[in-house]
A and B are shown apart, each in its own frame.
Chain A
Amino acid sequence: MFGELVKGLRTTLKYMFRQPVTVQYPEVKRPVRERFRGRHELKRFADGSERCIGCSLCAAACPADAILVIPAENEPDNPRSPGERYAATYEINMLRCIFCGYCEDACPTNAIVLEHQYELSFYDRRASIFTKEMLLVPEDQGHGEPPPVLKQIERRPSPPAQIDL
C-alpha cells in the first residue's frame, strides 16, 4: 500500500518537470501535415483564368452529394476558363462534406484542392454553403501547368492561399 503511494507520487513529480505535450489552442495553432484535407479552394492558372471548366466530375465523385455545379458557356472574346464552359455556380455544402478528397482526385484540371484551413465553424446553416466567390482564390494567386492528378498531393500546385472566411 505504502509502496504504491510512493510509486504514484514519484510519477507525479516526474511529470511535473516535463514539458507539456498540449498546445494552447487557439493562441497556438498546430501546423498540419502536407497532405491534410481541409477547406476547399478553386485554383487559377498562371494567367489568372479559372481552372474549373464546369465539368461536374467532382459532383459525380462526391459520396455525400455536397457539390453543386451549374456550368455556363464561355463568352468567346472574354473567356473565364480555357475550356468551352466555366462554372457559373459552384457551391459546396460544408455540412454535408465529409472531407474525403474524392473531388480533388476526380478533377481533370486540378481546379479543386483541399487545402489546410480547418477552422470552418459558422453560426447558421445558411453560412454552411460555400459559394464560388468564397472558394475561388484571388486573381494574382494563379500557378502554372497542372501536375498529374495523383502527384498533386506530393507537390501542391501552389501554396495554400489563406482566404479569410
Chain B
Amino acid sequence: MLKTEELQINIGPQHPSTHGVFRMLVTVDGETIIDLKPVFGYLHRNHEQIAEQNTYLQNMPYTDRLDYFNSMANNQAYAMAVEKLVGIEVPERAEYIRVLMVELTRILNHAGALGFLINDMGMWQTQLAFGMREREKILDLFESASGARLMCNYFRFGGVARDLPPDFMPRLKDLLRAMPAFVDEMERLLRDNEILMQRAEGIGILPPDLALAYSVTGPVLRGSGIAYDVRKAEPYSIYDRFDFDVPIGTVGDVYDRFLVRVEEMRQSKRIIEQVLEQLPDAQGGHINPKARQNVRPPVGDVYARIESPKGELGFYLVSDGSTKPYRYKIRAPSFINLTPLGDMCRGYKVADVVVILGSIDIVMGEVDR
C-alpha cells in the first residue's frame, strides 16, 4: 500500500469550467476528492442594498441581471411580489404573454445549460453551438417583443410593457415547428452515447433525502426523483389551466439531471402550444390600464415565488409604506442548489467536479447577487 498525502488545490476563481468567477477549494488524495468547499462572493454587486434605494419600478431592470440567462423569469417573480403587495390585478391576456415568455425562457435556458454541460465533458463546442443556435432564435423573439435580447425588462406591474408585435406569432409558430427536430436530434446524439454515459452515469449522486435537507429545487431536485415543481405545488399565474407533466429522474446522478432537462423542454413546448390555442380568447389587454407603475404599497411584507428554469425563485419584500422597499430579499435557486456541491463531489475524481458543477446549472450573477 502506497502512502499518499492530501493536497489542497483551488479550482477557480478564474477557470473556464466554473461558469463565472467561482472558487472551489478542493482537498484531494491523488485523484480522489476528499473534501470540497465552494467559495462565493467574487461577483457580489450589492444587488439587495441597491434595490432598497431604488423605487419599486426601478428595480425591474436590475432583476434582469440576477440570472442573466432568464431575465423574463426574474421579471415575473418580482412583478408578482409587488402585485401581491399592492393588490394589482393582471389581465388574462397579460398572464398568457407572461407564461409564454417564461416557458420560452425555460427552453433557451435548458438548451444553453445542456450545451455547457456537454462542453464541460470534453465534447468541445459542438453541442454548445447547437444549443446557442436554438437560443438565438428565441432571443430574437424577445428582442422583437421587448427591445433587448438578454436584459429584457419586459414586465410591468399589472402586465407587460408592450403588446406582442404583429410578426411575433408567425415567427413563434415557425420556431415551434422546428423545435422537436432540435430536441430529438440532441437526444438521439447523446442518449446512450458512450462518452456521455461514462462521464455522467452514476456521477454526482444526490440522494433525495439530502436534496430535501439542502432545500434544493428545480431540475436538480427532480433529477433526484422528487416531483416538486412550484407550477404544480402552488399554481401561480394561470398554470392551473395547462396540462403538462413533471419529469423526474431515478438515481439523482448527472445523467438523470440531463434527461430531466431534455424532457422539460418538451413539456415547455406543450405549454406554449396550449397558450397559442387559448391566447386569442383571452380577456383584457397586455397591461392593466388602472395599474400605477410608481407604486406606494401599504405597510406589510410579501413572498412570491415561481418555478424559474433553475428552481424556486422567490422575492421577499417588506414595505414601510414609502416608494422604496424597506427590505428586498431574493431566494436564488442557483445559490441554494450550489450548497450541496461538496457532498455531491466527495469520493469522485477531480475531472468529475467540472461535470457535476455543470449539471447543477448555475449562473454566478444569481449566486452572488
Contact = CB atoms under 8 A, between A and B. Distances in A.
Are these two chains actual partners, yes or no?
yes
Given A34-B165, A35-B162, A101-B147, A4 B193 contact: yes
A106 B65 CA distance: 22
B145 interface: yes
A1 B65 CA distance: 44
B189 A11 contact: yes
A4 B198 CA distance: 14
Interface string A84-114: 0000000000000011111000000000001
B58 A63 contact: yes
A34 B165 CA distance: 9
A99 B148 contact: yes
Given A100-B153, A101-B153, A33 B140 contact: yes
Contacts of B65: 98
A83 interface: no
Given A4-B194, A8-B189, A35-B165, A63 B146 contact: no
Interface string B57-91: 11111100100000000000000000000000000
B136 interface: yes
A21 B143 contact: no
A21 to B, nearest CB: 5
B143 A33 contact: yes
For A8, A21, A100, A102, the residue with the greatest tally of chain B CB atoms inside 10 Å of its CB is: A100
A76 to B, nearest CB: 35
B144 interface: yes
A143 interface: no
A160 to B, nearest CB: 13
A37 B58 contact: no
B194 A37 contact: no
Interface in B10-48: none
Contacts of B162: 35, 150, 153-154
Contact of B146 (A4, A35, A114): A35
A36 interface: yes
Contact of A98 (B136, B145, B151): B151
A36 B193 contact: no
Contacts of A102: 57-58, 61
Interface of A: 1, 4, 7-8, 11, 21, 32-37, 61, 63, 98-102, 114, 150, 153-154
Given A35-B147, A35-B165, A102-B58, 11 more contacts: A1-B194, A11-B185, A34-B165, A35-B162, A36-B143, A63-B61, A99-B148, A100-B151, A101-B153, A102-B57, A153-B162
Interface of B: 54, 57-62, 65, 133, 136, 140, 143-148, 151, 153, 162, 165, 185, 188-189, 193-194
